Structure 1
């Protein structure tokens, strides 16, 4: 009798030991305290609760919000409820995406599950990932990616190493099925972790190098097309050249901060450029890449400038050095834009455009031919309509329309920030008027100044919806301002236009991307330097706040770090970063503060990796974090 009893006790102890080890190894943040959800999270839950989304991108944006907020358990329950509700309407592939997301959220939530339930909880999570792969036929990149990442992170006694290796290897072999090539970053990173676990340090570091990460202690997951480099600045996408109209209209993405467009004229004798890039060296690299991609192109004779921002004219000197020298068409009021650009703080330029950016490259720009009224041109047999506009980013905007090809070059008319966030510009009414102009032409292709804008704001139908939605939003913000609601309070209202959820699924993501910045710009333009909440009456600086924390409240370095860690556990990374920035003056050499600061800004990068590139840039810059570009393998 004793032997079976001891055996049973031994088995129980073994299981408990496995559970305890899992608690240590499974990746998860501290359990968050009860807190109100952000307006962004509530918005994303709302649009995901109407009906199955045809475009799965907002599924993954919401998943990222749950993960970043340390609400993985709630997220798993939310997506499980949607799966049950929508299941009769879902295709097998759609079901596989829901199951993959649920599996990832459950895996990260596992350490919060009671010990005696945890082992079974993880086994059930593995089963869901297996079901997702079966439903997708093993052919959906994102499903394999999720499974490979989760299986890599599981402790060895779950026996998922082989599955992880196969799933990640499949992702490498089928990179062309990824949403973009930068999804390979985590594939390389996790293959490196597997190699490290197997004792193959050479292979591990080879994979680590390919991932772009500096070490294997990386607390965030990045599946963003964005990249950051001190020398070259920010790029919105991996490098690629595509043909919007075969052998006629070329798009160059990822060569720098902005897009390049080139059009072969209808008679085939002239090449037309749209915008001139940020720096002469960038312009040279992009143009030479185009010539290598499409040998035998005609000479570049004409360049149309959509607006005179840094990243659209700074490379003009390279193009002017060509023979023949192209003619530049631009708005006559471009110098007014220069004044706004260069009257603001100049501390951001090199973060955005790289260390070799020079303001002189921009300020030396001058159009050869100025456009102040709607103008029809014929360039090599191609009809071109030049349409001056006042918004929404700059007052020197110019839409460029090719009516025969039904292509509208938008520039940054609908840049979500309504002007650079650190410059006093932007015109919402100008944007609404420009949307009317575009919709009236009903172009087939909308080509914007930056790759994400072309993906998101991609049809006149969407622009028509947005005009109504943004006009409604403006009215609501102005009402709130008159009531004395502070800016943060307006954001917390989670303002959703009355018809958006029911009738405008194509506008869910565009409106979400615009909403925060439209609120900020309207608030900035309608509230003086004394705000209703008394902000602006006094001018405490970071040194004053450091004195408040340390000299008056008596907080020690350890207490400040602990508070920052608690804020981070609750997903309040902005507050954690602000606390640390305020305290740094008192503890300039603190290693623990530097660690907490780095973690907070990394998590802010993770949070904004697919929805707010400018925040991604700024947060990266605060900790000098580089995110190398990952391009498709040739």
Structure 2
């Protein structure tokens, strides 16, 4: 055999094993793609946003890329982004061009295994060239561009000779961690540096990187750049740990110490400290408070704590603070007991540990009792600081309390605009109360809006955004109620991809806030306006999961191997929710099966990946179904 022919054959054979960045391989089936996209309102929403104009916020471009990737529509996604790049190129800056090229290259790399064999080598080389051009346009200093290039190159087979370039780019990301959108992006940096070390036989370095990534093994069929973490003992956190000065020397925000945010304020006279909310557990409250005092020396004693609402994660740590000397006074709404009773005796207890960790105990919530209750708008002073306490009726709980510091331009708003309009597993939430609360906040017009959770502060950070968002939410309510009146299923309402008429043309600042709210506003309104007998026959019968398993296995004759093949097929089609439904029914009859367990892990990891930057509660639930921890990354480079 001639050497040249042999070498070409070896290259083509090796190219067969091109990985798809830990995604599920997608077949280039146009019919299947159209069926999938018709059922993916998230994808259609971000397509509509990105089709109108180059997004002001690059996150919208990458959320679209992530949707294409998660649904295994990488080929279609690469074509869509390439078309947008060609259309918008004359008005793009070099930085914007580099972002489009990087996102397109990621999708192309994932799609490479579906490219015809004889074209694949050239396709991959063109993708590598695209990454190089993106780095050139960005001046080699844009974290996201280097991150994507490093991750893609590290996953390519050795025949392409990209390992050294990948290691250099990923090492640059570690050296420039401060430029990352969030420290969560470093998780994949460590993971891929570890895989490169493993490939060259350096197991010690590989294991060190794996530990720093927060992952526990090398079997990761998904990519995680989320700031979210999930720890069985301590529960969920929304963001990496940090202490920020909102108003220098006066207002401090404590993020990532547990499920909720802590805030502390130094009074005008400098002699008193007061806090906003008490956290979820006594141990996490202690850790956060001691971290603040260690970082900010000379703080005055804590004299008061104001509770924005009496949910689990805002009062559960109260006993720690009550043990301090002097003992701070607690302020809460006069109807706080209604909320305590609802979450203590009505809410399904199974969810507590998923959200708040094994260390959480409901008794920490039940024992909460404020020293002062607030029934009407109240003004008081703590250490010379003027504080206005403003009761609200929504949107999450009926015992909401805005804490406003007018002279500092700071308003602590709790979870009044939590997208779920109350905990999803509790019958609560008041949509009209949300709209009324928006009016109150907008009228006061504080400079700083500080919410109970970091993503809320990041996405709903100004009264201008709230003012723009309100009419779109009113429009959405009208659409949902009309659909309910027509007898439409809840899923059909979601698939309609409801976008307010003027949103795309003129409201770029609320593209993401509206998207975050849309799904759960639909769910809450549907829940509150449809009885327990629903138009699609849901609720009329009383079938259990055991009955549904019997349907599949005993009557339809589904075997273990058939179940696994069906789940894998659905996963390849990006229909993870459908696969989850099947697993939650028939899968229980094969609970001890390794093959079913493997398929289940893939499905729930993909669902976790899908919601890793937009829906923290789904992230929690899906990861909990397979007891998958996403641990905080170890400190150090």
- Please classify the TM superposition score into its range, dividing by the shorter chain length: over 0.9
1:96 matches 2:98: yes
Deviations 1:184-233 (A, max 9, x none): 10000000000001001111111111111121121000000000001100
Residue 18 of structure 2 aligns with which residue? Answer: 25
The alpha carbon displacement at 1:324 in A equals 0.9
Alignment match of 2:340 (pick from 338, 341, 344): 338
> Could you state the TM-score of these two structures normalised by the residue count of structure 1?
0.97
Residue 155 of structure 1 aligns with which residue? Answer: 157
1:319 matches 2:321: yes
Q: CA contact under 8 A between 1:446 and 1:459: conserved in structure 2? A: yes
The alpha carbon displacement at 1:588 in A equals 2.5
Residue 600 of structure 1 aligns with which residue? Answer: 603
Residue 390 of structure 1 aligns with which residue? Answer: 393
Q: CA contact under 8 A between 1:151 and 1:163: conserved in structure 2? A: yes
Residue 497 of structure 1 aligns with which residue? Answer: 500
Q: CA contact under 8 A between 2:212 and 2:635: conserved in structure 1? A: no
Residue 459 of structure 1 aligns with which residue? Answer: 462
Residue 164 of structure 1 aligns with which residue? Answer: 166
Alignment match of 1:400 (pick from 384, 400, 403): 403
Q: CA contact under 8 A between 2:396 and 2:429: conserved in structure 1? A: yes
Q: CA contact under 8 A between 2:403 and 2:412: conserved in structure 1? A: yes
Structure 2 CA distance, aligned partners of 1:508 and 1:340? 34
> Could you state the TM-score of these two structures normalised by the residue count of structure 2?
0.97
1:487 matches 2:490: yes
Structure 2 CA distance, aligned partners of 1:16 and 1:125? 21
Task: Give runs of aligned pairs for residues 138-217 of structure 1, distance below 5 A.
Answer: 138-217=140-219
Q: Give the 3-state SS of the residue equivalent to 1:36 in structure 2.
A: helix
Residue 272 of structure 1 aligns with which residue? Answer: 274
Structure 2 CA distance, aligned partners of 1:454 and 1:552? 51
Deviations 1:117-172 (A, max 9, x none): 11000000000000111111111111111010000000111111110010010001
Task: Give runs of aligned pairs for residues 567-582 of structure 1, distance below 5 A.
Answer: 567-582=570-585
Structure 2 CA distance, aligned partners of 1:150 and 1:598? 24
Alignment match of 1:84 (pick from 60, 72, 86): 86
Q: CA contact under 8 A between 2:25 and 2:113: conserved in structure 1? A: no
Q: CA contact under 8 A between 1:227 and 1:234: conserved in structure 2? A: yes
Residue range with higher mean Cα deviation, 55-64 or 431-440: 55-64
Q: Give the 3-state SS of the residue equivalent to 1:228 in structure 2.
A: strand
Q: Give the 3-state SS of the residue equivalent to 1:49 in structure 2.
A: helix
Residue 549 of structure 1 aligns with which residue? Answer: 552
Q: Give the 3-state SS of the residue equivalent to 1:348 in structure 2.
A: helix
The alpha carbon displacement at 1:15 in A equals 2.2
The alpha carbon displacement at 1:23 in A equals 1.9
RMSD: 1.2
Residue 289 of structure 1 aligns with which residue? Answer: 291
Residue 3 of structure 1 aligns with which residue? Answer: none
Structure 2 CA distance, aligned partners of 1:170 and 1:585? 46
Q: Give the 3-state SS of the residue equivalent to 2:536 in structure 1.
A: coil
Deviations 1:504-540 (A, max 9, x none): 1000000000100000000000000001111111122
Alignment match of 2:44 (pick from 42, 45, 51): 42
Structure 1 CA distance, aligned partners of 2:25 and 2:183? 32
The alpha carbon displacement at 1:71 in A equals 0.5
The alpha carbon displacement at 1:13 in A equals 4.5
Residue range with higher mean Cα deviation, 614-623 or 12-21: 12-21
Moved beyond 3 Å, runs of 4+ = 631-634
Structure 1 CA distance, aligned partners of 2:270 and 2:588? 62
Q: Which runs of 5+ in 1 are unaligned?
A: 1-5
Deviations 1:342-369 (A, max 9, x none): 3021100011001010111111111111
Q: CA contact under 8 A between 2:611 and 2:618: conserved in structure 1? A: yes
Q: CA contact under 8 A between 1:238 and 1:631: conserved in structure 2? A: no
Residue 518 of structure 2 aligns with which residue? Answer: 515
Q: CA contact under 8 A between 2:460 and 2:466: conserved in structure 1? A: yes
Alignment match of 1:54 (pick from 49, 56, 60): 56
- How many pairs does the alignment contain? 627
